[in-house]
Amino acid sequence: MGELIARVESLQRRTTDIRVMLLTVGNLTMDVVERTVLRGGRAVALAPREFTLLEYMMRGPDQVITRAMILEDAWDFKGSVATNIVDVHVGTLRRKVDTEGEMSLIRNVRGVGFALRPDRS
């Protein structure tokens, strides 16, 4: 048993966290460690669930994300839900991230879900 513990501890020392801690999509930047978000130099204040949602979307830019994926992967919710809670949070997040005059980064994909697409202007 002692040898098994030593081997596991050795493996743990070898692994490194490969997750990126600074995410950028277009002019939107997120520091995962400091839990800050900037859009074009402007600070964006987010609630914890909104931060988690945006981080999930920023880790797969241009990828279509369904409501079920958000519930299961980002919020760790298991089971089926017939609610618009994801739509409400995405709407709130969109209002905070996209100000007037800026191209919307969070896009609806009709009949499927959402996608975070960098502005191409």
Q: What is the domain-level CATH number for residue 106?
A: 1.10.10.10
Tell which residue, 52, 48, 53, has the closest CA to residue 67: 53
| Model pLDDT, residue 106 | 92
Question: Does residue 62 fall inside a structural domain?
Answer: yes
* Sites in the chain below the pLDDT cut of 70: 13-19, 79-82, 119-121
Whole-angstrom Cα distance, residue 80 to residue 71?
9
Could you read off the pLDDT of 39-68 as tens digits, one per residue? 988 999 999 999 999 999 999 888 999 988
The pTM for the full model equals 0.77
Q: What is the pLDDT of residue 121?
A: 44
Question: Which residues span the domain enclosing 86?
Answer: 46-116
Q: Cα–Cα–Cα angle for 36, 61, 110, nearest 5°?
A: 115
When divided into structural domains, the chain yields a total of 1
Does residue 79 form part of some domain? yes
